[in-house]
Amino acid sequence: MSRIHVYGPARLSGELSIQGSKNAVLPMMAAALLHKGITVLTNVPTIQDVDCMVSILRYIGCRCNRRGSTLEIDATFLRSVKIPDCYVSQMRSSVILLGALLGRAGEGDSSYPGGCLIGARPIDIHLEVLRNLGAEILEDGDRISAKAACGGKLCGAQFQLRYPSVGATEQALLASVLADGITVVQGAAREPEICQLCQCLNRMGAIIRGVGTDTLTIKGVEKLHDSRFDVRGDRIVAGTYLAAVMAASGSILLKDITPSDLTVPLDLMEQAGACIIRDEVKEQIAISMESHPVGLQFETEPYPGFPTDLQSPFMAFLAAGEGESLIREQVFEGRFATAEELKRMGGVIRINGREAYVTGHYPLKNAKVKARVLRGGAALVVAALAAEGETVIEDCRHIERGYEDICRDLRVLNADVRWG
Ligand code: EPZ
């Protein structure tokens, strides 16, 4: 199992270009299935979840060629509509391929994605979306088979999501682009990754209106065409490295990142004492932090609220700060698991249901800790930068699912961090 060694405390400095967004590129790769031709994606991150999605697309019959950060997907011929269990268990977000397969071939088959350490993560809203669009869903044990009822094509419909689920919104977009008629999705998610998926689909020839709002209108088209799309910087990876500066202090410049994708986290970091310059035109964020962060109170929400994926990295720097903080996790019911590991590093954290009370103090203690989930693992690296001595983080394979190379990136920012 992969380990990371962090030697703290460390002041960060330097400039770093941010990798392409994991949560934007995965649905775009699924979208490529909708076109019997070539879709080229650029600025694709080199991460395990992308490798997993490439394996699934190849299993289904696509030809995928990777040259550096450019990924060419040729989905002219498909040979299967079934997503193998091994891939679904490895990456639960592969369930959005059901919508793409229904849109392309009128049928799709997948196993039920399990929950994970951050919550049960049911897919009831996904299945409701597909039924609304005229799919017959057969649930047999942990298998899901979906078939377009009316002659192999889905039918446009108007419906409201009971919750602005990111995945269910992606499911609706992928299933409705080639459906007959018009689809109106009310209560849709508005995350930047959803906007990018809509822009990518429109670039492919789809007709989607209301991008960036909670009401998406999709006019079904007969077919799509070859296209090329550039993936924007990963706001959660950028937010993780900004949290690292909050914990360790210093001054860095992040490039290839859209500041308005991180408005609420940036506002909170300023409230905690950081000096931040946001350049929307140059797509850069400069941050400097010369004191320990003061306590904050915030809750996680769907976009444009505070993103749940940055909850653990924020908890990490607040644990190494000064003052009292209150964090409410309102998106996933089980996303405080990392608190136990932070407590092993001397973090003073009390969990009460969906609320975490953090009493900051600096520095934290070095320890041997375990990364149990993707963002929680990255949060331990953030905390270790504010701990004295060597911290060893085990089981870092989780981190590799979403970060190209967190050690490489932090070394560019002058941290003493290495794989071990
Ligand atoms: C996406 O997950 C992201 N994953 C998550 O990032 C992110 O935390 C989440 O959106 C919220 O922003 C990808 O994009 C690959 P949801 P998703 O559907 O789509 C409940 C990371 O670290 N729900 O918006 O699964 C669900 O249980 C990952 O990169 C239902 O009840 O998130 C949760 O409580 C972690 N029924 C809430 O909605 C459903 O059918 C939000 O889930 C679907 C969701």
Parallel, antiparallel or unpaired: strands 355-360 and 348-352: antiparallel
Three-class DSSP category at 349: strand
Alpha helices for 32-143 (secondary structure H): 48-60, 85-90, 97-105, 124-132
Q: Is the CB of 23 under 6 A from ligand 1?
A: yes
- Which letter, b or e, does each residue of 209-236 get, where b requires 16 or more Cβ atoms within 10 Å of its Cβ? ebbeebebbbebbeebeebebbbbbbbb
Choose the residue to mutate in 98, 124, 166, 299 for probing ligand 1, maximizing ligand atoms within 8 Å of C-beta: 166
Closest ligand 1 atom, CA of 402? 29
**Catalytic, out of 52, 64, 86, 116:** 116
Q: What is the model's pTM?
A: 0.98
CA-CA distance, 194 to 357, in Å (whole number)?
Answer: 32
CA-CA distance, 42 to 67, in Å (whole number)?
Answer: 10
pLDDT of the chain along its 420 residues, tens only?
Answer: 599 999 999 899 999 999 999 999 999 999 999 999 999 999 999 999 999 999 999 999 999 999 999 999 999 999 999 999 899 988 988 999 999 999 999 999 999 887 678 888 899 999 999 999 999 999 988 899 999 987 789 999 999 999 999 999 999 999 999 999 999 999 999 999 999 999 999 999 999 999 999 999 999 999 999 999 999 999 999 999 999 999 999 999 999 999 999 999 999 999 999 999 999 999 999 999 999 999 999 999 999 999 999 999 999 999 999 999 999 999 999 899 999 999 999 999 999 999 999 999 999 999 999 999 999 999 999 999 999 999 999 999 999 999 999 999 999 999 999 999
Closest ligand 1 atom, CA of 123? 40
Q: Which among 137, 70, 73 has a CA at the least distance from the CA of 109?
A: 137
Cis (ω within 30 of 0) for the bond into 9?
yes
CA-CA distance, 230 to 273, in Å (whole number)?
Answer: 34
CA-CA distance, 142 to 140, in Å (whole number)?
Answer: 6
CA-CA distance, 246 to 297, in Å (whole number)?
Answer: 16
Beta strands in 225-312 (DSSP E): 227-230, 250-255, 275-279, 284-289, 297-299
**Residue pointed to by tokens 């969990």:** 351
CA-CA distance, 136 to 149, in Å (whole number)?
Answer: 6
Cis (ω within 30 of 0) for the bond into 304?
yes
Residue 116 annotated to the active site: yes
Closest ligand 1 atom, CA of 118? 35
CA-CA distance, 174 to 130, in Å (whole number)?
Answer: 10
Overall residue count recorded for the chain in this entry? 420
Q: Which among 2, 48, 58 has a CA at the least distance from the CA of 25?
A: 48
Which token pair is 385?
């930068």
Beta strands in 120-270 (DSSP E): 135-140, 143-148, 158-160, 182-186, 207-209, 215-219, 227-230, 250-255
390 Cα: distance to centroid of ligand 1 (angstroms): 34
